[in-house]
Structures are given as structure tokens and as C-alpha cells.
Amino acid sequence: MADGAQSARDRLLSAGREILAKGEADLLAGGLTIDQVSRRAGVSTQTFHNTFPRRNGVGSKARYLDELTRTLLADAASVAAAPDPSDQEAPPPDGDPRKLIREASRREYLRLSGDQALQLRLVASALLASDRTVAAAVRRQYADHGTAVRASYDETFQQWGAVLRRPFTVESLAVVVTALAEGLVLRSRFDPDAVPEELFGEAVLALMASVVDIEDRHAHIDDVIAPVAGEVMRDFQLSQPRPLPEDPEQAIIDAASAEFAGRGYANTRITDIALSAGVDLPTVKRLFTSKAHIVVAGLKPAFDTLHRRVTTDRKLHSPVVVIERFTERFADMIITHRPLADAMALVASTDTAQSPSNLILIKDELNYPGLIVGAIEDGQASGELITTGPSSFDLAAMVVNNIIFRCLSRRTESAREVADAVVGVVVRGMSVRG
């Protein structure tokens, strides 16, 4: 194709995009006309027909509209790219990130306000939502912009030493900020008084205050509004007459497990558990003195089952087999009750100084090493297991601690895989034969 014809094609297509982006009212009445497009492109209508000739029963305008649809976002004004460092605002002299966020947001809002790509995406949404080619082009444009935004956020958060509260990620935060900006720009076109220039910056600042965790506690977004939500929910529930659950203890244990899974043990309050369980706080405190008591109550049935099975195995199997069978069963128990097992491990590792009574409670009520001490002593007496070095209880603790650590650090492994790893190293190391 000759250069002149190609130039005319590009100009005509670009003209069509400009007319759609301008969005004048006569489009609704007469649609996109050949005369409009030709005038905007600075060519004659004959050039239009020469560039898009009628073929196989398909007219010039139909062929033009088909190609325009396929190239709707081809020369959009905002092709996403990494920000140019030379175009960035200098950091404020006092290093205040609030000033930086507000100014960066103001600049982005102004850029988007004059962005032809935004208008063309609105056209695509309104008129061409089912067109797969257009939909793919819009997704690519969002993906390219998202890549640039994510890179900028990653760098910023690394400088701040911050992480995001769950379930937010840098990717989802970029999507929310982009959608917020586009929505405000659209609203401002019809109601400018409602959307002052600085509103986007204030909204982004509020969003950052909610999702950014500068203390690296890996908290949940619910925790930001937890004080307000807790009070509102408490007031509401206190105003509602309701009976206790049929089994309030089990309801509390189930609620605690769910809360631990969602918030983590340290970030879960007794009030959170009470609200989730549908049990009033005084009743919860009458049934359980602390969160550690709930953990013990939740794990005690499985502990008792383990105890019974080890007792039976000692009557039927050799000491080494008893320990191996315990290893897989204990790993399966941890995986099945992971939120409570996570909580137990945290209590055992952090409550030593702060709440020693909780640690004593765990050791007394959930004495997992004690379950296999007898089997180890049986093996030592029969000559199967070593008698030098650590005591039988210390050997049992090594087995238990390795199972717990592997289950909690290798969270995708099955109970069988955990058992194989621990037996292969720890249990075989206790064996006289190795």
C-alpha cells in the first residue's frame, strides 16, 4: 500500500477515535458519519471511499467501523509506562509522605481528566462490551497501567518498610486506585462541584492509611475498623434477645478457630470470639478464663484420641512402630486443627514471660511429648533405642517439636510427608541401628 494511502488510513482512524473521545451530542442523533470523519482527518470523502472501498457487499462505512473498532485504543493518549523520574515531584523537605501522596494523586487526576483513553474505554464499555477484540485491548491497557502503578507502589512501600494488610496486595490496591480515579473523573464531568481537584488525593490518603501496615504485623484490613465494628456489633447484639447456642462451649471453640484463622491468635480478642460465637461476653469468660483455655479445650479431644491410640499401639507393636504411627497421626491432627495448633505454638513460644500460666496450662493439658515417653522407654529397655544422651522426655520433645515446626512451616505437605521427614531424621537418629 502506498505511503499516502496509509497516511490517509491512519488519519481517518485517528479522526474517528478523536470524535468518539470528544463525545458530542450529535453522535447520538446521526452516529459517526463519513463527512464528520473526513473533515476531522482533513481529507475528502472520496479519499475516505478510496481508502475503505466497498468489497464483497460490505460498504465503505461498515469496513471503516470494523477497523476502527479493532484499533479503538491504538493511539490512546495514556499508553501506560513506568513514570519518568524527571517528571516526578521532589520529596517534601520534611519527608512527609502525606504531601507526596496528595501531590502525586493530584497530578494523576489531572492527567486522567484529559486522557482520551478514558473516554474511549467508556465508549467501549457502552457500545462494544461484547466485542472480544476491544475487550482484550482494554484489558491490555489496564494491565500495562497496572504494571507501572505496581512498580511505583512496590518501590514506595519498600522505602517505607511497609506491607499491606490482608487481603490487599499491591495488585489489588492498584486496581482500586485506578477505578477510584476513573470514577471520580467521570462524576466530575457531570457534577464538577462535587469533585474538587484535591478529592482524589484525600481518598487515596485515606485508603493508604487503612491498607498500609508500617509495623509489619501482617494484620487484616478488618483490624482497622475493628474498634468501631466491635462497638457497633456489640451494641446491636446486646439489643437483640437471643438464646445461647445449644452447645455454647463448642460454639466458642468453633468461633475462636475461625477468628484465629482470619486474624491470627495475637490479633483476636475475646470479644471477637464472643460476637462470632453468638455468646455474650460474661458467659464466654465464665466458660473460658483466657484464649489459651479455648485453645486447650479445642485440642483436648484430639489429644485424648492420640493418647488412646498410642496406648493401644504399645500393646500391639514394637516401640519404633508406635513412634512412627504417632508421628503421622500427630501431624494429621495439627493439619486438621491448624488454626488452633498455630495458636498453641504461639502461646508456647511467646507467653513464657508475659503469661507463664498459659504455658503451664498448655504443657499440663496438652503434654504431647508425654504420649510417647513410655514407648521410648520401652525401646530403650529392649535395646532398640539409644540410652545415652538426652532423656526419654527430651527425645520425645524432639519428635513432637519437629512435627509441629514442619507442619507449621511446610503448610502444603501432607501428614504422611511430614511423618516421613521426621521419622527419617529424628526417629532413625534415636534408633540403635540408625
- Distance, in Å, from the CA atom of 277 to the CA atom of 252, rounded to the nearest integer, reads 5
- Listed residues 11, 38, 70: the one ending a domain: 70
- Listed residues 213, 235, 264: the one ending a domain: 213
Domain assignment present for 78: no
| 268-295 residue pLDDT tens | 988 889 888 988 888 888 999 999 999 9
Instruction: Specify whether 305 is located in the same domain as 276.
Output: no
Confidence of residue 81 (pLDDT cuts 50, 70, 90): very low
Query: Is pLDDT above 60 for 155?
Result: yes
* Structure confidence at residue 331 (pLDDT): 95
Instruction: Specify whether 342 is located in the same domain as 320.
Output: yes
* Structure confidence at residue 160 (pLDDT): 80
Instruction: Specify whether 303 is located in the same domain as 412.
Output: yes
Query: Is pLDDT above 50 for 77?
Result: no
Instruction: Specify whether 421 is located in the same domain as 344.
Output: yes
Instruction: Specify whether 176 is located in the same domain as 296.
Output: no
Per-residue DSSP letter, 194: G
Summarize the confidence of residues 420-429 as an average pLDDT.
86
Instruction: Specify whether 137 is located in the same domain as 252.
Output: no
The DSSP bridge pattern shows strands 163-164 and 212-213 to be antiparallel
Confidence of residue 85 (pLDDT cuts 50, 70, 90): very low
Domain assignment present for 387: yes
Instruction: Specify whether 337 is located in the same domain as 422.
Output: yes
Instruction: Specify whether 306 is located in the same domain as 377.
Output: yes
Distances (CA, A) of 16 to 19, 99, 117, 236: 5, 40, 13, 57
- Distance, in Å, from the CA atom of 81 to the CA atom of 144, rounded to the nearest integer, reads 7
Q: Which amino acid is at 385?
A: L
- Listed residues 287, 310, 326: the one ending a domain: 287
Summarize the confidence of residues 368-397 as an average pLDDT.
91
Instruction: Specify whether 92 is located in the same domain as 156.
Output: yes
Query: Is pLDDT above 70 for 63?
Result: yes
Domain harbouring 100, CATH code: 1.10.357
Domain assignment present for 360: yes
- Tell whether pTM > 0.85: no
Is the peptide bond between 167 and the residue preceding it cis, with omega within 30 degrees of 0? Answer: yes
Confidence of residue 234 (pLDDT cuts 50, 70, 90): low
- State how many domains the chain has: 4
* Structure confidence at residue 151 (pLDDT): 80
Domain assignment present for 183: yes
Question: Mean pLDDT score of the chain, rounded to an integer?
Answer: 82
Summarize the confidence of residues 408-419 as an average pLDDT.
92
Domain assignment present for 80: no
- Distance, in Å, from the CA atom of 64 to the CA atom of 188, rounded to the nearest integer, reads 33
Residue 408 sits in which domain range? 291-430
Instruction: Specify whether 114 is located in the same domain as 146.
Output: yes
Determine the Cα angle at 344 with ends 340 and 348, to 5°: 170
Instruction: Specify whether 282 is located in the same domain as 306.
Output: no
Confidence of residue 175 (pLDDT cuts 50, 70, 90): confident
- Distance, in Å, from the CA atom of 404 to the CA atom of 250, rounded to the nearest integer, reads 24
Helix 170-190 vs helix 132-160: crossing angle, to nearest 10 = 120
Instruction: Specify whether 370 is located in the same domain as 426.
Output: yes
Query: Is pLDDT above 80 for 76?
Result: no
